[in-house]
A and B are shown apart, each in its own frame.
Chain A
Amino acid sequence: MTLFGYRIPMMASLIVWALVWEIVGRMDVIFLIPPMSAILAAGVDLVQTNSWQNATWVTIRSFVIGMALAIGIGVPLGVMMGRVKIIDNIFGLWVNIFVSAPLSALVPVLMILFGMGEATIVVTVFLFAVWIIVLDARAGVMQVPPSLIDMARSYGASQATIMRKIILVSALPEILAGIRIGVIRGVKGVVIGQILVAVIGYGELFELYSRSFDMERFWALTLVLFAAAMVLSALVENAEKRIEYYAGAR
């Protein structure tokens, strides 16, 4: 963006909105919006508290376990669906239903099944992330040119070698794109799960702050989460870019 001939960096709009927020906050119109400076101060305060550090640890742990399961199950399932017609027929409909379903509605059921604890959060993260990973891995495998597989066969490659040297490498851009969207969905899953369960991690903190009208801390926690989600997404995107040189060229 340019303004009066000067290049304005993208971050500038954040600063503008932070200023607007600050002004509105200082006008003291509504208790929901404390001044931005107070939120930031509360944020600095917050990250030093024991309760925040514990909540963060619990959150990261459920997120990592849930994502590991989603990738560990989602990628192989998607690859199998892309390669084997019968597996595609068995799972295809369900994956397509779940990928667009409002999964938050399932969390209360999960609470009954898995209890009011971390297991429910892990399953929520898994359910939020896995379907898009499956679909993208499947799409990646299905676009592998048949002649490339014929080529490997004609030079004597075994099925395992074809999978390792042709199919997985060829599908890698799609698999990574699926994981990136899965990670973003997983972040939503971990937050929504914790808020609905309401007794662990950030859910407990959100519940505590909103009940006690501690809006500074409430917003500080929100900002931390937003920033974490953005950083995670940027990290995966960065990994994706490294292999983009051929993904764009095929």
Chain B
Amino acid sequence: MSVQALSKDEFDPASVVTSDPVVRVETISKHYGTVEALRSIDLQFERGKLTTLLGPSGCGKTTLLKIIAGLVPATSGQIVVNGRAVTGPGPERAFVFQDFALMPWATVLRNVGFGLELKGLAAAERNRIARRYIEEVGLQGFEDKYPHELSGGMRQRVGIARAFAVNADVLLLDEPFSAVDEQNRRKFQEDLLRLVEMERKTFIFVTHSIEEAVYVSDRIVLLSPRPGRVSNIIDPRIDRTADPDDIRRDPGYLDVVEEIWQSLRHYAE
């Protein structure tokens, strides 16, 4: 098994330019009043790849994700998706929420089909699509249950199925597994890798867990806090055909985790 970490000690923005960027973040800055949350962020996200925004709390990673989603306006700079500058949410992007954001009064089926319902699809059509994605995330048999009848892990599966159902090019995941217990987290990470493989979409993933980032990412963008800036970009280059447990014990994997920890540790405390 070959696991190598390729990272640059000195971050060079020019080398980040990729051949087929789906999402381009161009000199994005964000101020909340006098607080500078993000300073001049430039990033590109490749098609079919999973990129993680990683950093300590207060580095603005969720803010950046919400700006990409069009949920939060940037103070300056622009977001370009599929070659078009965007100012609000759009059908080519789907968001997975940290707190699941499920409608407690609606069944799993209606929750998963809600994006399609808002698009105006007929009930029969959206239920058919919703059922397919409910099955894909392993929730068949729970279509008529309500969110409060499900565990935290199952609720997030509903959130992920809802995002897949609208067939967006870009999936934005905001710490999707942080409210899920540790056993389920690992299962989730493996399922996520399977979905990345199957769906060939662009994933932008926010987490504060270094292990999680190294395990699932094709590329990791390290952000430093106050104000949020890109401090480093790391490609873990992990052989994902290997057994998940072997990957987690592999020296290469552990080296990348250690390297990221070294670069982040001075932000702790």
Q: How far is the CB of B172 from chain A (nearest CB, A)?
A: 8
Is A157 interfacial (CB 8 A cutoff)?
yes
- Other than A170-B104, A249-B147, give 4 A-B pairs with Cβ distance below 8 A: A148-B101, A151-B95, A169-B103, A245-B146
Interface code B93-137, partner A: CB below 8 Å = 1, 0 otherwise?
Answer: 111011101011100000000110011000000000000000000
Closest chain B residue to A173 by CB distance? B105
Write the chain B residue with the least CB distance to A152.
B118
Interface pair A157/B118, CB less than 8 Å apart: yes
Q: Is the CB of B97 within 8 A of A147?
A: yes
Q: Specify which chain B residues have a CB less than 8 angstroms from the CB of A250 in the assembled complex.
A: 104, 148
| Majority DSSP secondary structure for residues of A touching B | helix
Residues of A near B97 (CB, < 8 A) are 147, 150-151
Please report the C-alpha to C-alpha distance between residue A240 and residue B97 in the assembled complex, in whole angstroms. 30
CA–CA, A166 and B103, complex, Å: 8
Q: How far is the CA of A154 from the CA of B119 in the complex (A)?
A: 12
Inter-subunit contact B71/A153 (CB<8 Å): yes
| Interface size class, chain A | 20 to 34
With a CB–CB cut-off of 8 A, which chain A residues contact B91?
Answer: 156
Q: Which chain B residues border A155 with CB–CB below 8 Å?
A: 89, 94, 114-115, 118-119, 166
CB atoms of A151 and B104 under 8 A apart:
no
Chain B residue numbers with a CB within 8 Å of A166 are: 103
Please measure, in the bound complex, the distance between the C-alpha atom of A157 and the C-alpha atom of B103, giving whole angstroms: 14
Flag whether B90 is at the interface (Cβ < 8 A). Answer: yes
Contact, CB under 8 Å: B101 / A161:
no
Which residues of A from 149 to 202 have beta carbons under 8 Å from B?
150-157, 161, 166, 169-170
The verdict on A6 contacting chain B, using a C-beta distance below 8 Å, is no
CB-based nearest A residue for B116: A155
A161-B118 in contact (CB<8A): yes
Knowing A249-B146, A249-B148 are in contact, say whether A156-B118 is a contact too (CB < 8 A).
Answer: yes
22 A-B interface contacts by CB (under 8 A): A145-B99, A147-B101, A148-B101, A150-B66, A150-B97, A151-B95, A151-B97, A153-B71, A154-B94, A155-B119, A156-B90, A156-B91, A157-B118, A161-B118, A170-B103, A245-B146, A246-B104, A246-B105, A246-B148, A249-B104, A249-B146, A250-B148
Q: Which residues does chain B contribute within 8 Å of A145, judged by CB atoms?
A: 99, 101
**A161 — which chain B residues lie within 8 A by C-beta?**
118
- Which residues of the other chain, B, contact A152 by a CB distance below 8 angstroms? 114, 118
Residue of A nearest to B172 (CB): A154
CB of B69 within 8 A of chain A?
yes
How far, in Å, is A52 (CB) from chain B's closest CB? 44
Whether A156 pairs with B89 at a CB distance below 8 angstroms is yes
- Contacts A156-B119, A161-B118 given; does A151 touch B148 at CB 8 Å: no
Contacts of B101 in A (CB 8 A): 145, 147-148, 150-151
Residues of A within 8 Å of B166, CB to CB, are: 155
Q: Name the B residues within 8 Å of A147 (CB-CB).
A: 97-99, 101
Rounded to whole Å, the gap between the CB of A176 and the closest CB of chain B is 13
Contacts of B104 in A (CB 8 A): 170, 246, 249-250
Q: How far is the CB of A227 from chain B (nearest CB, A)?
A: 34
- Shortest CB–CB separation between residue B118 and chain A, in angstroms? 5
| A10 CB, nearest partner CB in chain B, Å | 31
Could you tell me the distance between the alpha carbons of A211 and B46 in the complex, rounded to whole angstroms? Answer: 89
CA–CA, A166 and B148, complex, Å: 17
Residue of A nearest to B159 (CB): A151
A151 to B66 Cα, complex, angstroms: 11
The 10 lowest CB-CB distance pairs between A and B, nearest first, are A249-B148, A151-B101, A155-B115, A147-B101, A250-B104, A154-B95, A246-B105, A246-B104, A154-B89, A155-B118
Contacts A249-B104, A249-B148 given; indicate if A154 touches B99 (C-beta within 8 A): no
Q: State the CA gap A161–B66 with chains docked (Å).
A: 21
Contacts of B114 on A, CB cut-off 8 Å? 151-152, 155
Q: A155-B115, A246-B146 are in contact. Are A169 and B95 (CB under 8 A)?
A: no
User: Could you give, for residues 215-250 of chain A, a 1 whenever the CB lies within 8 Å of some chain B CB and a 0 otherwise?
Assistant: 000000000000000000000000000010110011
